[in-house]
Chains A and B, each alone.
Chain A
Amino acid sequence: MKASPNNYPEEAALVIREHPEVRASVTGATLNFDQNRRKAYSEIDTEAWRVWAEAVKNHLLTHLDGYLRQAEASLVANGVQVHWAEDAEAAQQILARLVRENQVRTVVKAKSMLSEELGVNPLLESLGARVFETDLGEYIIQLENEPPSHIVGPAIHKNLEEIRQVFHRHFGTALNETPEALAAVARKRLRDAFLRAEMGISGANFLAADTGTIALIENEGNIRLSTSTPRIHVALVGIEKLVPRFSDLAVFLSLTARAATGQRLGTFVSLIQGPRKPGEHDGPEQVHVILVDNGRTSVLADPEAWETLRCVRCGACLNACPVYRQTGGHAYGYVYSGPIGAVLAPGLLGLEAAKALPYASSLCGACFEACPVRIPIPKLLLAWRSRAVEQGMTPRFEAAAIRAYAFTMTHPLLYRLAARFIRYLPDQVLDNRVVPVVKAWTEGRAGLKPSPKSFRELWESGEAQ
């Protein structure tokens, strides 16, 4: 089946049925991340930080036009070349031009979800460039030709055994190699790529409008190398990634690290201030920033969805989500998965193309609790659901059943009759595997058994007195 957001129900069921190892890996890793996040939150006045971060991002988003212009001016003053891309195609064209003009043969990539969203790797390959993902997790899934299954831990669905097999297949390493030895193999290959590459592509965690600083958080050092070793650095930046002031980073860098991995700060934080200046010994000759819209302004204009754009892509909501935990990210059929994916997908792709995802949640609220910028994900999911209903995108029998149920519940007499009726049904009816809704319930659970008498009957007959 083709990966698509609307295949979520089938894909999720398939993973659960046939790949229990995915659930085990994802559960182990996310619970671990989540615990670390809680610990890191407990060290600070998290509520104050979250409320502040929410306010700053809200201010940014409600003044985005001005801040974008300011960011452009600051970047240009730093010697950075700024490009604007309205959609994925425009971004690809800009990138293709840079690759051709500079005769780029090898590209090293620092982990960037936006690059996945824009389809950068297939583009570069079609231009004849060799592409190396340099984040270890990304490197593993690139070898396997898989999309990332988590915003922060792209290979989170694979356990050590599988990773050993991947390395064995590709590089002939032993099947009992230690993780350190495997990392060393990847490191050696990537070293060569770093030295050869003419271009490094990164995303950006933040872009400070007042100073034009690109901020990147990481733990492996590959981002620093990707952005400083090659002659050309291209940063793909979603327009929502801005923060108004350089000083805002003081909170955002730490809050994001705490939310993502439970660290107080990423092991490496790169603050990029433009290309190599005369007299400097290292750094790229050219730095390009491609500011990407790709659906974001339409989300911004949507009064019920705009809060989605506060997202800093920390992955905390995925780690907190018991629904995500059962399947990992691939079942969502979209680059962004988990709770944030379920609200981003309809916003960026249009509801018709992603109408199944807002239902991929039990609305337990754990995502909101974890989110460093307080995105009310359950509320946003509900808004998308209500739109799906308004626009007639839900199954017809479901809509009819809900109408019948609402009619019953607003006619107390009918409700009474229905309550009587289910008690006259032979046991098999509420315990069967034919009627769709009952079947969906009883296939994995014991059948439903009403109390011998409803509470109402007990009350009226005086048995409750």
Chain B
Amino acid sequence: MRVALFITCLADQFFAESGVHAVKLLRSLGVEVEFPARQTCCGQPAYNAGYWNEARSMAEHTLDVFQDAEYVVLPSGSCTTMLRAFYPELFRERSSKFKQAEDLAGRTFELAEFIVKVLGVTKLGDGLRGRKVAYHHGCHALRELGIKQEPLALLANAGAELVDWPASQECCGFGGLFSVKLPEVSLSMADQKISTLPRADYLTSALAGCLLHLSGRMQNHRVGLETTSPYGLSEVRPLASLLWQAVEGAA
């Protein structure tokens, strides 16, 4: 089985290590991993801000890059949604591209979803034994794609204790350009979400943007607000890294 890894631009630049973990993880499961070198960004920020022509140009580029891939796997729920749900939407009126987009959509999976649904693996190891993990559900993966149990199952089956976080399914306030177009609202949302975060060793998610936003807020030493969880900081670690840790044991 061949998988083309779509690292996504934010993870490429800000969570490079988690990409390495995703590769190791997939290989440990017997998958052949490729990394098409011309990949860039899925175009979601432009799509969400209403710049559909620009989004289309990035979508066409991405359709091209992954044309021959057997599977496309992304360590990001939101970008997976872009490929799977929004690309066809963008090309609704252009039948040849629409077909290509539908075809790509059928081959595209978020990492945890791919492991559970396509590979049929639910236990990776028990490298997370005794670790308390808080899982942030990205809105798109959760509500558009219905990915909810897969990551939780992989974490729990590796021995992690999933802490009860009342706001785990609430939007963190990142929202792409939303975070800089309406920064006060975005931060206020982050604060509400963080304020209910229980004590945990790790805060994880399959969304690089959300993690940058949440960790950036929690480590915000400048404003000196009481914005961290009442129990102090959890280490922020992308899902791909935690899943590799599940296989390998504590890094």
On whether the beta carbons of B189 and A362 are closer than 8 Å, the reply is yes
On whether the beta carbons of A9 and B182 are closer than 8 Å, the reply is yes
Contact flags (1/0) for A425-462 with B, using CB distance below 8 Å?
Answer: 00000000000010011111111111111111111100
On whether the beta carbons of A451 and B14 are closer than 8 Å, the reply is yes
Which of these, B13, B48, B50, B179, contacts A388 with CB under 8 Å? B50
On whether the beta carbons of B12 and A406 are closer than 8 Å, the reply is no
On whether the beta carbons of A444 and B139 are closer than 8 Å, the reply is no
What residues on B are CB-neighbors of A322 within 8 Å?
170-171, 173, 189, 192
On whether the beta carbons of B220 and A455 are closer than 8 Å, the reply is no
Measured in the bound complex, the distance between the Cα atoms of B17 and A450 in whole Å is: 11
Tally of A-B Cβ pairs under 8 angstroms = 199
On whether the beta carbons of A406 and B140 are closer than 8 Å, the reply is no
Q: Which of A369, A409, A449 lies at the interface centre, i.e. has the most chain B CB atoms within 10 A of its CB?
A: A409
- What interface size band does chain A fall in? 35 or more
On whether the beta carbons of A451 and B15 are closer than 8 Å, the reply is yes
Measured in the bound complex, the distance between the Cα atoms of B24 and A455 in whole Å is: 13
Which of these, A327, A382, A464, contacts B19 with CB under 8 Å? A464
Closest Cβ–Cβ distance, residue A328 to chain B (whole Å): 12
Which of these, A17, A360, A441, A454, contacts B216 with CB under 8 Å? A441
Interface membership of B235, Cβ < 8 A: no
Closest Cβ–Cβ distance, residue B211 to chain A (whole Å): 12
Measured in the bound complex, the distance between the Cα atoms of B185 and A43 in whole Å is: 34
What residues on A are CB-neighbors of B182 within 8 Å?
9, 12-13, 359-360
On whether the beta carbons of A409 and B43 are closer than 8 Å, the reply is yes
B:166-225 near A, CB below 8 Å: 170-171, 173-175, 178-189, 192, 212-213, 215-217, 219-223
Interface membership of A365, Cβ < 8 A: yes
What residues on B are CB-neighbors of A171 within 8 Å?
none
On whether the beta carbons of A451 and B215 are closer than 8 Å, the reply is no
Interface membership of B58, Cβ < 8 A: yes
Closest partner residue, chain B, to A23 (CB atom): B188
Closest Cβ–Cβ distance, residue A11 to chain B (whole Å): 11
Closest Cβ–Cβ distance, residue A331 to chain B (whole Å): 9
Interface membership of A363, Cβ < 8 A: yes
Which of these, B181, B184, B222, contacts A16 with CB under 8 Å? B184
Measured in the bound complex, the distance between the Cα atoms of B215 and A214 in whole Å is: 53
Interface membership of B49, Cβ < 8 A: yes
On whether the beta carbons of A419 and B192 are closer than 8 Å, the reply is no
What residues on A are CB-neighbors of B60 within 8 Å?
410
On whether the beta carbons of B16 and A405 are closer than 8 Å, the reply is no
Closest Cβ–Cβ distance, residue A124 to chain B (whole Å): 36
Measured in the bound complex, the distance between the Cα atoms of B213 and A459 in whole Å is: 26
On whether the beta carbons of A464 and B23 are closer than 8 Å, the reply is yes
On whether the beta carbons of B188 and A369 are closer than 8 Å, the reply is no
On whether the beta carbons of A459 and B35 are closer than 8 Å, the reply is yes
On whether the beta carbons of B183 and A402 are closer than 8 Å, the reply is no
On whether the beta carbons of A444 and B37 are closer than 8 Å, the reply is no
On whether the beta carbons of B52 and A445 are closer than 8 Å, the reply is no
On whether the beta carbons of A409 and B9 are closer than 8 Å, the reply is yes
Measured in the bound complex, the distance between the Cα atoms of B175 and A464 in whole Å is: 30
B:6-40 near A, CB below 8 Å: 7, 9, 11-17, 19-20, 23-24, 35, 37-40
Contact flags (1/0) for A100-138 with B, using CB distance below 8 Å?
Answer: 000000000000000000000000000000000000000
On whether the beta carbons of A326 and B189 are closer than 8 Å, the reply is yes
Closest Cβ–Cβ distance, residue B141 to chain A (whole Å): 11
What residues on A are CB-neighbors of B16 within 8 Å?
451-455, 457-458
Closest Cβ–Cβ distance, residue A451 to chain B (whole Å): 4
On whether the beta carbons of B178 and A441 are closer than 8 Å, the reply is no
Closest Cβ–Cβ distance, residue B124 to chain A (whole Å): 19
On whether the beta carbons of B139 and A362 are closer than 8 Å, the reply is yes
For the complex of A and B, 9 pairs with smallest distance between CB atoms: A385-B50, A362-B175, A445-B216, A364-B171, A455-B19, A406-B54, A451-B16, A365-B143, A364-B139
| Residues in A lying within 8 Å of B, measured CB to CB | 9, 12-13, 16-17, 23, 27, 322-323, 325-327, 358-366, 368-369, 382, 384-389, 394, 398-399, 402-403, 405-406, 408-410, 412, 415, 419, 422, 437, 440-460, 463-465
